[in-house]
Chains A and B, each alone.
Chain A
Amino acid sequence: MSTATLEAPSWTDSKRYLWMLGIVVMGLPIYGYLLVQWTGLGLFWWTTPMVVYGLIPLFDRLIGEDNANPPDSIMATLAADKYYRYVVFAAIPMQYATFIWGTYMAVTGGLAWWAYLGLLVSVGMTSGLAINVGHELGHQTDPLERWLAKIALAPVMYGHFYTEHNRGHHVRVATPEDPATSRFGETFYEFLPRCVYGSIASAWEIEKKRLNKQGKSAWSLENDNLQAWGITVLLFGAMTAWLGIWALPFMLLQAAFGGSLLEVVNYLEHYGLLRQKKADGSYERCQPHHSWNSNHLATNVFLYHLQRHSDHHAYPTRSFQTLRNFDGLPRLPSGYAGMILAAYLPPVWFRLMDPRVVAHFNGDMSRANIKPSMRERVIAKYRSAAA
């Protein structure tokens, strides 16, 4: 007779050390520079976009999807494992090293215009990727992590994201009221200004309302937007004092590009999806099928599982390592890295995604979030196609 012993669960996280790629990716512009030095090829000033737009989508295609979920019994242990916190923290020094080095190089490097442009796009990309770091940290409730979120958002001038994402986007996601939810038929270039303007305005309103309730002015230093933007002002001010006025256009332009990278990801996360209204006029709760999901491994390990977006929105306080895949979710045909290329080209995007939205709603487009000017037309078109 054998005695059953209580064993520790034997499951191990196969992605555990892959999460370090989130740190590695923050240094891409520097590795590119080293390659330029080593090979003498100026092409490598463009290493970062080549990796993000080329290599990662290629790996998504080659490696494919990882649908595995950790067993329920391990979730609590996995969520409490501090390693996963530190691996996110560690991306921030790398991000700042790249930002400071990149700005220094732009001002003092005497670069040709195409090398300068490559550097600008590269540093902007790491700044944009850092919004994902800020996103992960901003969802935590620990004060240290919440401060680190503001610090990660500073080089890309996206301090308002700290407020707007949790208290705006998560509340209104997949409704026409959410600036960061794209609508069926809306191109990325229509979405971008609507989302940027709407998000900043909403972040300001949210903090103003909170502070006014406490009898304080919106201009109080307790305003999270002012705190987060303040770090940008200090950082950009210090860099300009050190490197001179030419640091400023570089920092502003890389931030603009970084912000656009976040927004193109926002664009593809909820395209056309809509929460239905209940009898009392309020929206149904956010469920997994209100976000497009992707299990493509390569992009996921660079983005802390951001693409397991369905679980994230339905349960926003789950830490990244415990996010799950579900069956029957709206699924993106590729990882984010590949999908953003499609989003840049509206005809490709519409051809790829519109049939998926229509299929998701079984042709009943009255249940979709559609660009208002074409709503009636779209509903009629697919209704007659179904009839």
Chain B
Amino acid sequence: MKKWQCLVCDFVYDEAKGLPEEGIAPGTLWADVPESWTCPDCGAAKADFIMVEVD
């Protein structure tokens, strides 16, 4: 499981945790997050995230 970070505001999407409140189940891979999804904190597009090794 990987983490992806927003280049605009540093929000981190954790594949292991998903975003259940946005309908993205825990364990959802980044590749399976819809292309229309945007950063919940700042609205940046999915393309504006980079993979990061956090922790």
Q: Which residues of A contact B (CB under 8 A)?
A: 139, 141, 166-167, 170-171, 206, 210, 278, 280, 285-286, 313-317
Question: Between A and B, how many residue pairs show CB distances below 8 Å?
Answer: 42
A278 to B40, CA, bound (A): 13
The DSSP consensus for interface residues of chain B is: loop
**Contact, CB under 8 Å: A315 / B43:** yes
A220 to B45, CA, bound (A): 30
Query: B16-45, CB under 8 A of A: which get 1 and which 0?
Result: 000001000000000000000010111111
- Interface size class, chain B: 10 to 19
Q: Which residues of B contact A (CB under 8 A)?
A: 7-11, 21, 38, 40-45, 47-48
Q: A315-B38, A317-B48 are known contacts. Are A141 and B43 too (CB-CB below 8 A)? A: no
**Contact, CB under 8 Å: A170 / B10:** no
Option from B8, B43, B48 in Cβ contact (under 8 Å) with A285: B43
**Contact, CB under 8 Å: A316 / B21:** no
Option from B8, B10, B40 in Cβ contact (under 8 Å) with A316: B8
**Contact, CB under 8 Å: B8 / A167:** yes
**Contact, CB under 8 Å: A285 / B45:** no
Query: What 12 new A-B contacts, CB under 8 Å, besides A171-B42, A286-B43?
Result: A141-B7, A141-B48, A166-B42, A167-B8, A167-B9, A170-B41, A285-B43, A313-B43, A315-B38, A315-B43, A317-B44, A317-B48
A225 to B10, CA, bound (A): 16
Residues of B within 8 A of A280 (CB): 21
Q: Name which residue of chain A comes closest to B50, CB basis.
A: A141
3 tightest CB-CB pairs across the interface, nearest first? A170-B42, A171-B41, A167-B9
Q: Name 14 interchain pairs, CB-CB below 8 A, sorted by A.
A: A141-B48, A166-B8, A166-B9, A167-B9, A167-B42, A170-B42, A171-B41, A206-B10, A210-B10, A278-B21, A313-B43, A315-B43, A315-B45, A316-B43
